Amino acid sequence: MNTKTLALTAMMTGGILLSCSESKLLDQVNPNQASTATFWKTSDDAIKGVNAAYSAMQDRRFSLWIRFLTDLSSDEGYSQSPWTDLGNISKFIVTDYNIPMNIEPFQAAYQGIYRTNQVLENVPNIKMDATLQKRILAEAKVIRAYFYYNMANIWGNVPLVLKSQTLSERPAQNTQQQVFEQVIKDCQEAAVDLPDGYTGLDVGRLHKYSAIALIGKTYMQQRKWAEAATALKQIIDQTPTRFDLVPDYKDNFTTLLENNKESLFEIQYYDENESKVGGAVNYDVAGGSESSEHAQFFGLRNTTGFDKGGWCDGQPTKWLLNEFLKEKDKNGNKDYRLDYTMFYSGSTLKPHGYTYADLTRLAAGSDYLPERDRFWIKYTNYYQSTDSYFSGINDRVIRLADIYLLYAEALNEQGQTAAGIPFANRVRARVNMNALPLTMTQNDFRVQLRHDRVVELAGETQRFWDMKRYGILGPELAGPDAGKKPANESDFDTDFTTYQKGKSELYPIPLYETDANPNIKQNPGW
């Protein structure tokens, strides 16, 4: 070997050794950072672990985008967003399967599931109070069930990952039915070890009836009426002592009366100005998880002379407005819930101090359409000075009014119409609507319940699931206005013009997932 070769060899060897040396030097474990070897040792670790799983439900990648995949996909909402991909979601048009509003909630859900699996695998090995240990494991199971319930409804056939994965694993795909079965299994097991409720700083954690409510809703989506009724009755039997409807409907959607007697499953957020436990709190930047971005994305449209609203990326349909106007209350007034659901030309509310006429006047010359547009009020900060990224309004995932109406539906579908009607009347009585007669036929009550669920639960991610259960999704919902009137003017939801039966019931599984995992097949039609 000549000297040039020796020199080159020495240089290359030295470079490799140096690179290896540098690699070892840089690849160090931070002794101050928790790892699986140092964590999961104490009961405090167990609590922190399950708290991280709760945080996953707050994650804006899931909690925000799910609104677009549900409320705007139903006939309740549509979008005029200038962000084309976002606006197309409500039209069932997805050209890029990796757009944020499709891939981010998918990934965020599995990250949340990963956190629950870590709890379930590690907490049993901690020497701690047995009752607390069982409770923490049960909480993790309900959180995992919550993610899978939503994933089954949105994407259908997804992998059931029930243990921590390694990087090389490619889990098998499960059917929607199997996913629903796992939701029920997790919640049934959890209900045994969860308390009836909490006090102090633990208020807001998932309890026994959170799990039971999710069981009931999962059975309903499978049209298993008897099983659903059995589960839901366990909650009914706890009224009015443990659970009850709050006297004022609007108190379910502000920061002022959170975790109330009507709430069964609630995701916690911090208010912009103060911590819920008192004292100051450091907020995440926009896109963080301690506050909700719902109000920012759905709030009144900012326009000339008005900068207190949001981006208005989602709006209520005229069809929804018409649904509210179908019935008047006992005194001949419009449905009380309407003003606390949407802002429209006949609103009596003054969000951020403005009337509808004020906003129309301020918007002269802009794209604001007088007397035509409607805007979400529910879950926005209309009663405060402005909307922002840092809304503290908790998401009421499941509340008693929903349970009453589902129980009534489950009974009615079993031919027990007269037994179901009183539960619908409880919801109607709160807002002074006339009681339904016990002599209604099964089909008449079925139609009435569909109306009652719309006006009670609009904008609460329920309608799209309901429409699937009813079997009413289809392009015919676009009505005769398709291609003739803009979405904000039509009495129908013209977004359904592009709905394709056998395809649009589910969203496409993100391309990153199908590319990375050969065991995952794309949903039909995509």
Question: Average pLDDT in the 156-180 region?
Answer: 95
Regarding the domain delimited by 43-250+501-516, which CATH topology (the fold level of the hierarchy) does it fall under? 1.25.40
- Name the range with the highest mean pLDDT among 37-46, 106-115, 484-493: 106-115
Other C-beta atoms closer than 10 Å to the C-beta of 240 total: 10
Q: Which DSSP state fits 123?
A: G
What's the Cα-to-Cα distance from 461 to each of 166, 299, 432, 500, rounded to whole Å?
A: 33, 16, 25, 21
The one-letter amino acid at 356 = Y
pLDDT class for 443, splitting at 50, 70, 90? very high
- Reported as a single tens digit per residue, the pLDDT across 19-52 is 444 555 556 666 666 666 789 999 999 999 999 9
**Two tokens, residue 518:** 């050969």
> Is a pLDDT exceeding 70 seen at residue 1?
no
pLDDT class for 371, splitting at 50, 70, 90? low
Dist CA 314 CA 81 (whole Å): 7
- Per-residue HEC secondary structure of 226-261 comes to HHHHHHHHHHHCCCCCCCCCCCCHHHHCCCCCCCCC
pLDDT class for 251, splitting at 50, 70, 90? very high
Stronger pLDDT, 285 or 136, i.e. the higher one:
136
Dist CA 476 CA 525 (whole Å): 19
pLDDT class for 263, splitting at 50, 70, 90? very high
pLDDT class for 483, splitting at 50, 70, 90? confident
pLDDT at 372: 76
Dist CA 132 CA 81 (whole Å): 47
Are 236 and 245 spatial neighbours (Cβ–Cβ below 8 Å)?
no
Half-sphere exposure of 36 (CA within 13 A, CB side): 7
Are 455 and 433 spatial neighbours (Cβ–Cβ below 8 Å)?
no
- Name the range with the highest mean pLDDT among 124-138, 283-297, 484-498: 124-138
Share of the chain above pLDDT 90, in %: 79
pLDDT at 21: 47
pLDDT at 421: 98
Stronger pLDDT, 492 or 17, i.e. the higher one:
492
Dist CA 525 CA 500 (whole Å): 9
CB-based burial, 28-59: b 16+ in 10 Å, e otherwise: eeeeeeeeeeeebeeeebbbebbeebbebbbb
pLDDT at 12: 34
pLDDT at 18: 37
- Reported as a single tens digit per residue, the pLDDT across 111-126 is 999 999 999 999 999 9
> Whats the size of the chain, residue-wise?
526
pLDDT at 313: 94
pLDDT at 6: 32
Domain with CATH 1.25.40.390 in the chain: 43-250+501-516
pTM: 0.90
> Is a pLDDT exceeding 70 seen at residue 394?
yes
Dist CA 49 CA 336 (whole Å): 42
pLDDT at 33: 63
**Two tokens, residue 191:** 């209900």
pLDDT class for 363, splitting at 50, 70, 90? confident
pLDDT class for 285, splitting at 50, 70, 90? very low
Q: With the C-alpha atoms ordered 254, 402, 428, 244, is the resulting torsion angle positive or negative? A: negative
Question: Average pLDDT in the 121-136 region?
Answer: 98
> Is a pLDDT exceeding 50 seen at residue 340?
yes
| 428, 432, 436, 442 alpha-carbon torsion, rounded to 10° | -20
> Is a pLDDT exceeding 90 seen at residue 16?
no
Q: Which residue has the tokens 């240089």?
A: 11
> Is a pLDDT exceeding 90 seen at residue 349?
yes
Q: Which residue has the tokens 């208020």?
A: 203
Share of the chain above pLDDT 70, in %: 88
The one-letter amino acid at 21 = S
pLDDT at 25: 55
Helix-helix angle 100-122:130-154, to 10 degrees? 160
Question: Average pLDDT in the 96-106 region?
Answer: 97
Dist CA 366 CA 373 (whole Å): 13
To which H or E segment does residue 453 belong?
helix 442-457
Dist CA 329 CA 205 (whole Å): 36
pLDDT class for 482, splitting at 50, 70, 90? confident
- Reported as a single tens digit per residue, the pLDDT across 200-223 is 999 999 999 999 999 999 999 999
pLDDT at 463: 98
